[in-house]
């Protein structure tokens, strides 16, 4: 296939582009004039200048394509409350789907997030049918992705073969913006190591990329698929990180969630510096445990053990001189 990819120069997107090429597909990437493409410059791909906020540029980019993978999104915590969250995540998704419809009803994969499934105050296993109960005013990113999924459902009902995938927390080398690697890096650098009472599913970026491509090739239109990993408590992630970095036994401080949230939000309200971004605390004090058996059964999705994933990231952080050697 010739596959049109938005966000193909990003952390996850670059792996998707590489794997698409390795599988024999032709890749056309949506990029802006200022986009950094060093992650994929070693892979042959067609470059199309445009923007998800410009539907006509998307239609032009999809000409002669057989499928679409829509990854372009907001990943930086400091942009979560900015106006571009809506214009990129919600409006941008509608534009991509509209362009796919105008281009002959192209098979489209929308890359959402497990945060759009739900989060819970206690460990509970969620699946594709779990009701979304989070307040979108507090959990803005989760709410925006959930709203974008509703748009996908609208287009699917109208006949567009759009498939939604929900990756869990994604880790891997080359996380240059330290989107998730920052959590592991803090554990390796800080004393004491700070831990929250929450949990998440951990998956390797290569496995997530493979799941996204499998959804394009084998997913059913109108369906959503959780791309999960091992479900771990935050403290467990910290302990495994310290072991991977040769720092076993380092002191981990875990305070009550209510105390941590109260301190952080008070500092933020007083416009004082906070040790972590307030939005991060909201997410880190919930559990995002998921069941990915549907993706395993229908897409052939697999994920490697969390220890292997964490070790891969820690080795990269040390090799890059970002984390100390034991």
Q: What is the tens place of the pLDDT at every residue in 9-60?
A: 999 999 999 999 999 999 999 999 888 999 999 999 999 999 999 999 999 9
> Tokens 């594709």 belong to which residue?
128
State yes or no: pLDDT of 212 exceeds 90: yes
Mean pLDDT, residues 105-111: 98
Structural contact between residues 319 and 175, judged by C-beta atoms closer than 8 angstroms = no
State yes or no: pLDDT of 194 exceeds 90: no
| Cα(283)–Cα(280) distance, integer angstroms | 5
State yes or no: pLDDT of 76 exceeds 80: no
> Tokens 């990029």 belong to which residue?
31
Reduced to 3 states (helix: H, G, I; strand: E, B; else coil), residue 44 is coil
Indicate if the alpha-carbon torsion angle 68, 24, 223, 227 is positive or negative.
negative
Q: Where are the beta strands (DSSP E) in the chain?
A: 2-6, 26-31, 46-49, 67-70, 107-111, 162-167, 169-171, 193-195, 199-204, 224-227, 230-233, 252-254, 287-288
Structural contact between residues 206 and 275, judged by C-beta atoms closer than 8 angstroms = no
State yes or no: pLDDT of 2 exceeds 80: yes
Mean pLDDT, residues 173-185: 93
State yes or no: pLDDT of 84 exceeds 90: no
CATH numeric code, 2-177+201-230+289-305? 3.40.50.720
Average pLDDT, the chain: 94
Where do the domains of the chain lie?
2-177+201-230+289-305
Structural contact between residues 201 and 290, judged by C-beta atoms closer than 8 angstroms = yes
pTM: 0.95
Mean pLDDT, residues 226-238: 97
């Amino acid at each position: 296939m010739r596959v049109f990819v938005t966000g193909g120069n990003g952390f996850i997107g670059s792996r998707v582009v590489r794997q698409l090429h390795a599988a024999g597909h032709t890749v056309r990437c949506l990029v802006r004039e200022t986009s950094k493409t060093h992650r994929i410059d070693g892979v042959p791909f067609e470059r199309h200048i445009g923007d998800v906020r410009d539907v006509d540029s998307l239609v032009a980019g999809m000409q002669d394509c057989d499928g679409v993978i829509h990854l372009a999104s907001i990943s930086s915590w400091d942009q979560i409350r900015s106006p571009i969250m809506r214009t990129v995540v919600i409006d941008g998704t509608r534009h991509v789907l509209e362009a796919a419809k105008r281009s002959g009803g192209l098979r489209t994969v929308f890359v959402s997030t497990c945060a759009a499934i739900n989060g819970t105050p206690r460990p509970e296993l969620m699946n594709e049918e779990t009701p979304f109960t989070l307040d979108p005013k507090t959990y803005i990113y989760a709410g925006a992705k959930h709203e974008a999924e509703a748009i996908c459902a609208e287009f699917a009902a109208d006949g567009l073969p759009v498939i939604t995938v929900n990756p869990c927390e994604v880790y891997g080398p080359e996380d240059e913006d330290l989107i998730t690697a920052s959590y592991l890096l803090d554990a390796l650098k800080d004393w004491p190591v700070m831990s929250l009472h929450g949990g998440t599913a951990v998956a390797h970026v290569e496995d997530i990329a493979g799941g996204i491509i499998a959804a394009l090739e084998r997913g059913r239109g109108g369906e959503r698929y959780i791309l999960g990993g091992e479900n771990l408590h935050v403290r467990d992630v910290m302990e495994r990180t310290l072991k991977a970095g040769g720092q076993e036994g380092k002191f981990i401080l875990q305070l009550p969630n209510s105390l941590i949230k109260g301190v952080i939000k008070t500092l933020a309200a007083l416009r004082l510096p906070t040790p972590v971004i307030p939005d991060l605390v909201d997410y880190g004090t919930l559990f995002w445990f998921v069941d990915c058996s549907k993706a395993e059964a229908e897409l052939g999705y697999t994920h490697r053990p969390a220890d292997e994933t964490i070790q891969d990231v820690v080795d990269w952080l040390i090799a890059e001189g970002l984390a100390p050697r034991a």
